[in-house]
Amino acid sequence: MCCEWCSSKNIIKEAVPAFWELPDGTKAIEIRETPCISCNDCGMTYQEEETIEQIEEQLLLINTETLEKSLTFDELMKKPRLLKRNYFKFD
């Protein structure tokens, strides 16, 4: 595995806070302990595409009206879904 920005192999996996805008644009939330990659060479910290997709799909499928302003990644992923899956994703 290497950094998506500079291709360095000097990376670490960690969990950091991330701020996310809700799909409807009504507010932003803090997602603590979000899995990410940090590069020790270029200094970039970013979420992998899989993590981004998990967050975005979950935010589409849960009731965001009652969502806290700050929660952990695991708490977000455990929120009950209104739909079992994203029926608009065709891949």
Predicted confidence (pLDDT) per residue in 41-81, tens digit: 999 999 999 999 999 999 999 999 989 999 999 999 999 99
All residues at 6 or more sequence positions from 20 whose CB lies less than 8 Å from its CB, including other chains: 28, 29, 30, 31, 55, 59
Query: Band of the pLDDT at 83, cuts 50, 70, 90?
Result: confident
The pTM (predicted TM-score) of the whole model is: 0.86
Q: Is residue 64 part of a domain?
A: yes
Average pLDDT, the chain: 92
Q: Is residue 86 part of a domain?
A: no
Q: Is residue 3 part of a domain?
A: no
Instruction: With beta carbons less than 8 A apart as the criterion, state whether 64 and 79 touch.
Output: no
Domain count, the chain: 1
Q: Is residue 66 part of a domain?
A: yes
